[in-house]
Structure 1
Amino acid sequence: MRKLKIQVQITVDGYMGGPNGEMDWMRFPWTDDLSTYIDALTKPVDTIVLGRKLAEGFIPAWQSRPEHEDEASIDWMNNTPKVVVSRNLTESPWENAVVAGDLVKTVTELKAQSGGDLIAYGGSTLVSALIAEGLADDIYLFVNPTAIGTGLPVFPTRTVPLDLAEAVGFECGITALHYVPKTA
């Protein structure tokens, strides 16, 4: 069975975006040690899951082949199939992406298929829903050394017990916290 990994950048106070989705608190550039960690995390992945709001900026940004990104990352992001979860879209306006309406059904079916792992990049709505529905197998929080006081939370508004699998600090100041949802 395929695993669903969530990879999200957060602040030290647990937000993945400012109150209006601001991301200006993120630490860049990444150092080589962080890039190597991300490469290992995504190596077994063959499908990206996105929410519609993030997809609207994410997919075109990678298709524009951003100058500050390396060619291997650009190619991986563009060539890896994507599933965009949306209540509003019925078909994909993007290459190499399909649209799905029901989050639980879609992710459950994807996980049951053969293939590599899935990785979810998303906004607060998608990530919180994946966690609340118990669909995430691994949660990777990339903690940026900044506090913003308020914003878009990562976790749903209920208790989510987790086990720490790994904590790794990187030269750029970001710390990766890898959690596995605690089973009963």
Structure 2
Amino acid sequence: RSGASMGTIAVHEFIALDGVYQDPGWTFEYGFDPRMGETLGEITGSAKAILLGRRTYEMFAPAWSTRTVEDDPGAPFFNDTHKYVVGATEPNVEWGPSTRLGAYDPEAIRRLKDEIDGTIYISGSGTLVRGLLADGLVDDLHLFVYPVARGTGDRLFRDGVDPTKLRLKSTDVYDNGVVHLDYGPA
């Protein structure tokens, strides 16, 4: 792609030591280190779009759409940024500016990366992220690893998938025991 600037996909996940990312309510007991907020602010600050799987979109919509900047500094980002939703079935909610991309299609994601100059931010959306990783479409995989093994729950990397090799780009260690690992393609 000669000279064309293109978007990058940045994935953000709160994850346990055993890979569980489902229902991040368990992260609350560790508190929220202000430096984690700074890291997240850097990730979302350059974002021009949000890409979500249908289930995550349906979970986020009621939670974020009622929040204001006074409730959460991240609210305007989530509510006002254009959202692209991947899923074979239509989401059952409407939320801010959004476009439905239909079932997962790596070509549609590549087109989106070509169209958007800046970061495309993803949170949660495990099924979508697994597809993107398998297709080599993730530029930054930001894992916030908590010092706990959950023992149960949906894991980001499931058994039986092809090996996923990544390259460590940067790390942060926070006072609450959480470690931030930024991985890119190997």
Partner of 1:100: 101
Cα distance in 2 for partners of 1:69, 1:15 equals 27
Alpha-carbon RMSD across the aligned residues, in angstroms, is 2.1
Q: Return the TM-score normalized by structure 2.
A: 0.86
| Cα distance, 1:122 vs structure 2 | 2.8
Partner of 1:75: 76
| Cα distance, 1:90 vs structure 2 | 7.7
Partner of 1:175: 179
Letter in 2 for 1:101: G
Q: Which runs of 5+ in 1 are unaligned?
A: none
Partner of 1:164: 168
Once the two structures are superposed, the pairs formed by residues 29-68 of structure 1 within 5 Å of their partners are: 29-65=31-67
SS at match of 2:18: coil
Cα–Cα, structure 1 residues 158 and 69, in superposed 2: closer, same or farther, change >3 Å? farther
| Cα distance, 1:161 vs structure 2 | 0.7
Further displaced range: 137-146 or 101-110: 101-110
| Cα distance, 1:114 vs structure 2 | 4.0
Letter in 2 for 1:10: I
Further displaced range: 114-123 or 140-149: 114-123
* 9, 23, 41: which one aligns with 1:4: 9
Write out per-residue CA displacement over residues 50-99 of structure 1, whole angstroms, 9 at most, x where no aligned residue.
001011110221111079943x3111111111001010118973221111
Cα distance in 1 for partners of 2:101, 2:36 equals 32
Further displaced range: 80-89 or 171-180: 171-180
Cα–Cα, structure 1 residues 9 and 164, in superposed 2: closer, same or farther, change >3 Å? same
Letter in 2 for 1:2: G
Partner of 2:86: 85
Partner of 2:26: 25
SS at match of 2:164: coil
Cα distance in 2 for partners of 1:114, 1:24 equals 32
SS at match of 1:152: coil
* 147, 155, 158: which one aligns with 2:157: 155
CA contact (8 A) 1:92 1:98 kept: no
SS at match of 1:15: coil
Write out per-residue CA displacement over residues 36-63 of structure 1, whole angstroms, 9 at most, x where no aligned residue.
1111111111100000101111022111
SS at match of 1:62: helix
Aligned residue-pair number: 177
SS at match of 1:126: helix
SS at match of 2:177: coil
Cα distance in 1 for partners of 2:48, 2:69 equals 24
Cα–Cα, structure 1 residues 69 and 114, in superposed 2: closer, same or farther, change >3 Å? same
Cα distance in 1 for partners of 2:20, 2:65 equals 27
